[in-house]
Amino acid sequence: MLHLIHVVPDFSAAAIAGLGDAAAPLPSPQKVRAAQSAALDRTLAPARRLLAKAGLAGLEICLVGNNPGDEIAVYARKKRLDLLVLGSRGRGLLKSVVMGRWPPAWRPLHDAAAADSQAMSPLAPPRRPPATGARRRRTARDAALWLALYLALVTLPLFALLPGHGGGLGFLWDYGLALGYAGLAMLGVQFALTARFRRATAPFGIDIVYYFHRYLAVLGVAVVLGHYAVFRLAYPAALGSAAPAEAPLHMSAGRLALALFALLIVSSLLRRRLRLEYDGWRIAHAVLAVLAFGAALVHLLGAGRLLDAPWKQALWIVLGVFWVGLVVWVRLLRPWQLARRPWRVVAARPQRARIITLELEPVRPLPPLRFSPGQFAWVSLRAGPFAMREHPFSIASSAADGTRLAFSIKALGDFTSALQEMRVGEIAYVDAPYGTFGIDEEPEAPGSVFVAGGVGIAPVLSMLRTLADRGDARPLWLFYGNRVWDRVAHREELEALQARLSLAVVHVLQEPPAQWSGERGFVTEDLLRRHLPATRHRLAYFLCGPTPMTAAVERALGALSVPAA
């Protein structure tokens, strides 16, 4: 028998129990269950009539609250029901079913239900990931393939140096040209590194890709400067006059490209010292990059003395079109796609420590977002996707329901401080998911340890909520570091999650209150030793918080013989 949970937005556990504000601490499980039973009895009859009109009378249905992880879902799970969560638009879906309009993504539900068999939903928990060993081998293989592709893109332009031209000016001349070709190819690949192609970033993690982008850009500009230095020192006559009125267009374009590339590097490396506002810098960075690369292509095509064969000219034309296509994709096509899939803020709840939790739902029905707990999204708030003002935020909601996303955002700067005033109904744009941080990366671990500091609790919440919705029974430990007790965000929910999981929560305060009996100071080797079992080296560890904290915890784990990832 298939048991269907239909999620109704205004049917939260607290409201059912008549217990006032849903943000208040949950009552005892016994009181909640009693209130739930009475409420379910009142609502089952009309729900069954609705399903009967759709020809699905064989389904059992329970109406539950806005969060599929609330106490009603827990109660149903304890009764060993097979759960199919429809999400907050379940009511609209059932009405569509009655009128015979089955969305394509839900057709398997109709077919399976008609056959009175076990149905699978797009919102069901994701399939179990492959074993850790196989996953790591596949990741290593994919990483090697992408690195090989990068090397091919960088070295391919050097084929223009193959014999066939009538140069005969010696090794140093060809070496200088090779530096120019290789440097331009390296800088062209930069557009691919910032395009956020998920398959390309998955083996490394997008944070590593962005580090690579930064340092590769410095190396690429250094190579281009080497190209200029060779000709300035060995062949100054080939450069001609530097006056734009006298120099050929392609030579002036080359000098302009060199100056713009240098400005890009300086403004990026010294952005904080120069006190450049982030959003304005990003726009200027993108404009400078496109102008610099365009000028470099003009210089190449005008000064390409070695492009004496049609195939060499075709090679550079194909590469140029590829790089320009990347720019068009990143700056035009992808924002256009995001603009067609807007999201709306449906809840904005202030938390402690100047953190606000924003919950988003699609403005129009969309397939559920499939993501792994611990991943993050690029979110545009109070700006359109073409404005280049998206910011990365960890997803804090459960991966079991991709129709509603939650983000916990701390006021740390001008942008995030302004978000504290977000209101229900405002529009957002979401580009997700990204990242390789999360429990699904370690599916065979016998248990997990989470160490979070401050707003670093956001991705940990996603993992804990998902584990609870999956009914995971493995042991879990959370070490949550904060300065003072009154600034511990989500502490009531963490307490409630302990009832749904085999979870031990250890709060660590730097400035505890007078009557505090818990841990004090920082997450240290001794503290971890006291709370973790002797088999701690077999557990999976997830750290998220300020860099000094995570670095200290990594050293502590090393001292406890916990192997590095």
**CA 547, 534, 464: angle at the middle one, nearest 5?**
50
**Helix (DSSP H) and strand (DSSP E) numbers for the chain:** 20, 14
The residue with greater pLDDT, 196 or 529, is 529
Predicted local distance difference test score (pLDDT) of residue 349: 94
Residues 321-335, mean pLDDT to the nearest whole number: 88
Give the lowest-confidence range in 202-216, 227-241, 445-459, 509-523: 202-216
Residues 424-446, mean pLDDT to the nearest whole number: 92
Residues 172-180, mean pLDDT to the nearest whole number: 87
Predicted local distance difference test score (pLDDT) of residue 545: 93
Report the alpha-carbon distance of residue 107 to residue 102 in Å, rounded: 6
Question: For residue 104, what pLDDT band results from cuts at 50, 70 and 90?
Answer: very low
Does the domain made of 152-336 have the CATH classification 3.90.850.10?
no
Q: Which residues contact 421 (CB under 8 A, 6 or more apart)?
A: none
SS3 219: helix
Predicted local distance difference test score (pLDDT) of residue 300: 85
Say whether pLDDT at 288 is over 80: yes
Write out the H or E segment, with its range, that includes residue 308.
Answer: none
Burial of 517-537, coded b for 16+ CB within 10 Å and e otherwise, reads eebeebbbeebbeeebeeebe
Write out the H or E segment, with its range, that includes residue 68.
Answer: none
* Domain boundaries 342-434, CATH class: mainly beta
Residues 105-122, mean pLDDT to the nearest whole number: 33
Report the alpha-carbon distance of residue 57 to residue 297 in Å, rounded: 66
Report the alpha-carbon distance of residue 86 to residue 403 in Å, rounded: 9
The residue type found at 486 is D
Q: Which of 124, 487, 187 is nearest to 320 (CA)?
A: 187
SS3 helix, strand, coil % of the chain, rounded to 5?
A: 50, 15, 35
Question: For residue 480, what pLDDT band results from cuts at 50, 70 and 90?
Answer: very high
Predicted local distance difference test score (pLDDT) of residue 44: 56
Q: Considering the chain, what percentage of its residues have pLDDT values greater than 90? A: 49
Say whether pLDDT at 201 is over 50: yes
Say whether pLDDT at 84 is over 50: no
Q: pLDDT tens, 508-557?
A: 999 999 999 999 999 999 999 999 999 999 999 999 999 999 999 999 99
Q: pLDDT tens, 5-24?
A: 333 333 333 333 333 333 33
**10 Å Cβ neighbour count for 263?**
14
Going across the sheet that includes 342-350, the strands are 391-394, 376-381, 427-434, 342-350, 355-362, 405-410
Predicted local distance difference test score (pLDDT) of residue 69: 37
Residues 40-61, mean pLDDT to the nearest whole number: 54
Q: pLDDT tens, 117-164?
A: 233 233 333 334 444 567 778 888 988 999 898 888 888 877 766 655
Distances (CA, A) of 205 to 193, 254, 455, 563, 565: 12, 35, 21, 20, 13
Q: Which residues contact 407 (CB under 8 A, 6 or more apart)?
A: 357, 358, 360, 377, 379, 393, 394, 395, 396, 458
Task: Tell whether the torsion through CA atoms of 391, 395, 399 and 400 is positive or negative.
Answer: negative
Predicted local distance difference test score (pLDDT) of residue 127: 35
Q: Which of 64, 82, 71 is nearest to 125 (CA)?
A: 82
**Domain extents for the chain?**
3-114, 152-336, 342-434, 439-559
The residue with greater pLDDT, 39 or 241, is 241
The DSSP code sequence of 131-155 is PHHHHHHHHHHHHHHHHHHHHHHHH
Residues 284-300, mean pLDDT to the nearest whole number: 92
Q: Which fold has domain 439-559?
A: Rossmann fold (3.40.50)
Report the alpha-carbon distance of residue 300 to residue 318 in Å, rounded: 14
Say whether pLDDT at 166 is over 70: no
Question: For residue 304, what pLDDT band results from cuts at 50, 70 and 90?
Answer: low
